[in-house]
Amino acid sequence: RFMSYTHVLVTRPEPAVALITLNRPKALNALSSPLFSELNQALQVVDADDAVGAIVLTGSDKAFAAGADIKEMQDKTYANVFKNRFLEDWTLLSKIRKPIIAAVSGYALGGGCELALMCDIILASPTAKFGQPEINLGVIPGGGGSQRLAQIVGKSRTMEMVLTGRTISAQEAERWGMVSRVVGDGEGQVVKEAVEMANTIASKSQIAVQAAKEVVNAAYELNLAEGLHFERRIFYGLFATNDQKEGMAAFTEKRKPEFTHS
């Protein structure tokens, strides 16, 4: 359970919250393959830990992550990236059941922006800068940026970001609906707020929380009729849980619920 990593740090700022910190500060948390494989391991470990209800993912004050590792990619060939399924392991993050909150300070560029977009909630510090500068390197986004941005901020803004490589500010990202909000201005404030939010989420029924995450994410995959059907079926299913009985009993008895995640 207590694994040690080189490129990520895993701590428990609250008993029910796991904080994963990307830890390659000298390279502005460039997302090398070894870093990503450790991130995936860490996510799987905390996802499997019953005591953890929600996860916060962060970087440093200067950089959430400045993108995939350009030095690692520089000499790759088509045959090489194809045969080795380069970046395919990025899909693991979207299979994590527990909510993941990205606490973004500084640069979230290229793969770093895409990593934040794969999380469930993004909180940004006023210093956060989002961008897809791949076009400056002769490539395009490869971690879902073109698709997720188009869904979230629309065509014109996505095209502008992807075609010009312009970096947008935290305030712009908030206006565009990429982030929930811009929080605080002191160092570490965004992480503190993200941990508080994660702790609030962790106090709910974990089964209901994970069901809610699953149905919201389905909105990005299914058409409306399918999505509404899926939501209702999952809603029905929750009547089979003890947490539904406890939550509704606590309401009528005017007391706090004690969820057992069962």
Tell me if 68 contacts ligand HXC by CB under 6 A: yes
Whole-angstrom distance, CA of residue 116 vs CA of residue 121: 8
Tell me if 66 contacts ligand HXC by CB under 6 A: yes
For ligand HXC, the closer of residues 68 and 202 by Cβ is 68
Displacement of CA 79 from its chain's centroid (Å): 30
Q: Which two tokens mark 74?
A: 């520089």
Binding residue count for ligand HXC, defined by CB under 6 A: 21
Contacts of 7 (CB under 8 A, 6+ apart): 22, 23, 24, 32, 34, 35, 38, 39
Angle CA 63–201–188, to nearest 5: 30
For ligand HXC, the closer of residues 59 and 99 by Cβ is 59
Question: Which of residues 16, 19, 22, 28 is near ligand HXC by CB under 6 A?
Answer: 28
CB of 110 to ligand HXC, least distance (A): 2
For ligand HXC, the closer of residues 162 and 190 by Cβ is 162
For ligand HXC, the closer of residues 130 and 259 by Cβ is 130
CB of 139 to ligand HXC, least distance (A): 7
Question: Which of residues 9, 70, 152, 219 is near ligand HXC by CB under 6 A?
Answer: 70
CB of 98 to ligand HXC, least distance (A): 23
Interface mask toward ligand HXC for 107-146; x: CB under 6 A: x-xxx--x------------------xx--x---xxx---
Tell me if 83 contacts ligand HXC by CB under 6 A: no
Q: Would you please indicate which residues are annotated as catalytic (active-site) residues?
A: 68, 111, 114, 134
Give per-residue burial for 112-133: e unless 16+ CB within 10 Å, then b: bbbbbbbbbbbbbbebbbbbbb
Whole-angstrom distance, CA of residue 123 vs CA of residue 100: 11
Strand spans (E) along the chain: 8-14, 17-22, 54-58, 63-65, 100-104, 107-109, 121-124, 129-131, 168-169, 181-182
For ligand HXC, the binding residues (CB under 6 A) are 27-28, 30, 66-71, 87, 107, 109-111, 114, 133-134, 137, 141-143
